[in-house]
Amino acid sequence: MKLTDAQLAEFHDKGYLFLPGLFSKEEAQVLKDAARNIYASDREEVWREKSGVPRIAFAAHEYDDAHGRLGAHPRLIEPIMQILEEEVYMHQYKINAKAAFDGDIWQWHQDYGTWARDDGMPEPRAMNISVFLDEVTAANGPLLFIPGSHKKGVVEAGHDLETTSYPLWTLDRATVKQLADEGGVVAPVGEPGSVLLFHGNLVHASPPNISPWDRVIVYLSLCAVSNHITKFTRKPWIAHRDFTPIKALADDCLQELVDQAKAKTAAE
């Protein structure tokens, strides 16, 4: 899959690109069903909110078939290689939950700020892909972006170890207000299967989910192979140490699982 010149220009200007319906709802459901089973497990890679509901499942592409296929899907890998002009490896893979009523906030931050400070990633030649497994609405804790903020480079941040169950390098209120006064704030919403690509320096956050609807999103953080991390302070299932270039699978790799599930249902 290739991005058009217009899409590339939009990405470089705003710092993000929204691709609604890139995956079918059936493909998204296969991934959601797998995520539900992962959240119910007792794996150390599954982190929970202070209330006990799931917050993050790390590295699911390494121990779940459906998410392994998503982690090498050409609809995701090829556009990032196009943008970075290089082969990529998986720096981080996580399934983020915003449980109905109990999903906690993600403070204002830049992902590359963490990758640079904690992982020794040399340059911001890495970026994120988010895949919606639920419908994301204005009510259930959508991502908030400050368009154009990626052009500011790495912004000064403090290490927040207290607000949530996940430590994060966060921006102070004055900085966020200044950036938002310049670029505004947007909240892309859409159906299951929609995809967001966004720059590692794009300032973003998400509010708590006090709605009665879950919000699950998969995040792939892909890095140019030549830009791999140089510090190994975090768990290897949080910041991966395998810098092997990802080889994209066939475009129908997730549809195969959809067809298998249908066949199983018909046989029962």
Q: From edge to edge, which strands make up the β-sheet containing 158-160?
A: 144-145, 204-206, 106-109, 168-170, 158-160
pLDDT band at 163 (very low <50, low <70, confident <90, very high): low
Task: Provide, rounded to the nearest whole percent, the portion of the chain with pLDDT above 90.
Answer: 81
Sorted by sequence, the CB contacts under 8 Å of residue 174 that are 6+ apart come out as none
Does residue 210 or residue 167 have the better pLDDT? 210
Residues counted in the chain: 268
Helices (H), the chain: 5-14, 25-39, 65-70, 74-84, 111-119, 173-183, 253-267
Cα separation values, 143 from 180, 246, 262, Å: 14, 27, 33
- The number of distinct structural domains making up the chain is 1
> Residues 165, 169, 172, 175: is their CA dihedral positive or negative?
negative
Average pLDDT over residues 182-197: 97
The DSSP letter of residue 53 is S
d(CA 229, CA 122): 7
> What average pLDDT does range 132-137 have in this prediction?
97
pLDDT in tens, 76-129: 999 999 999 999 999 999 999 988 898 888 889 999 999 999 999 999 999 999
Q: Note down the domain range covering 174.
A: 5-267
Q: What is the pTM of this model?
A: 0.92
CB atoms closer than 10 angstroms to residue 222:
27
Q: Which CATH number is 32's domain given?
A: 2.60.120.620
Coil/strand/helix, residue 99: coil
Q: Does position 160 have pLDDT exceeding 70, yes or no? A: no
Among candidates 186, 201, 107, which has minimal Cα distance to 147? 186
Name residue, tokens 């893979």.
Answer: 93
Contact status, residue 166 vs residue 55, Cβ threshold 8 Å: yes
Q: Which amino acid is at 154?
A: V
